[in-house]
Structure 1
């Protein structure tokens, strides 16, 4: 059975913890997969809800859904499938982000894809530019300059004009945003 968020907060703050500490601890426990927050309730995670199993479940869903239709999997379809298997929407979003970051799946305006499936020249260009922004922004800690991003993807074989157009498309789609001072960050 679940424990209401407010009741747990009262109990823990009554024991001397600050409310911000309680909130951060809950976020950490949910992120690690030790507890599940669903609506206003918090409960211990079932053994099948470990982070590794949740990641495997998400990959399995992408594979099954893309095979069924032979098309990209719309994000909402994937989220519904994940919820039906016991994952919260927030956790499913985090796992999708992790899988994209590690390169197991990729995402474009058509939906979620397994790596290597359904990539067009345009989608390969989008992935290359997005990967460059992620890599350079992470390396600098402040963001990646447009020039560096374009130089990197051109050095990997993408044409300069296509790199510029692709970067603008990613900015328009919200997958990359301007962090100020001419620096870019993943959206």
Structure 2
């Protein structure tokens, strides 16, 4: 049984829960991402906007990208009502095409990579749509909850022509962190 995106408000109980720091170690993820105020970040698979909200406090601009129309509508409503340091722009993507804006220099994919059905096509589009010096980070489940093993994600990223710069299986309790460049 998969996650239903029909009721985004219900998903906030999981995605925006007070205990997210405990189960994902988000502060360590943000530390490893090392955002600068001038960064323009694409949060692919933004969901309810948990990370997009955090990014808005550190980056110049945030693209909150999701392939689920209900989530994009939720994001639009959330960030229209929110006071954020940076502009947050919701974007609808597809499974094969992230619809990445050409000014994003940091691409972040958390708890989403395992849901991408056409990962080689997606990675090819991601590479083609991103700037030459972009930085990328995938954070996803490891262990028994992994639909795509961390090793498989590394292989797919390398096969798509990216270069892995950091791979961390330890920092987060149930997740790995994979950083790469073109």
Asked if Structure 1 and Structure 2 have the same fold, meaning a TM-score greater than 0.5 normalized by the shorter chain, the answer is no
TM-score range, shorter chain: under 0.3
TM-score, length of structure 2 as denominator length: 0.27
Structure with bigger RCO (C-alpha 8 Å, 6+ apart): 2
TM-score, length of structure 1 as denominator length: 0.26
Higher strand share: 2
Higher helix share: 1
Larger Rg: 1
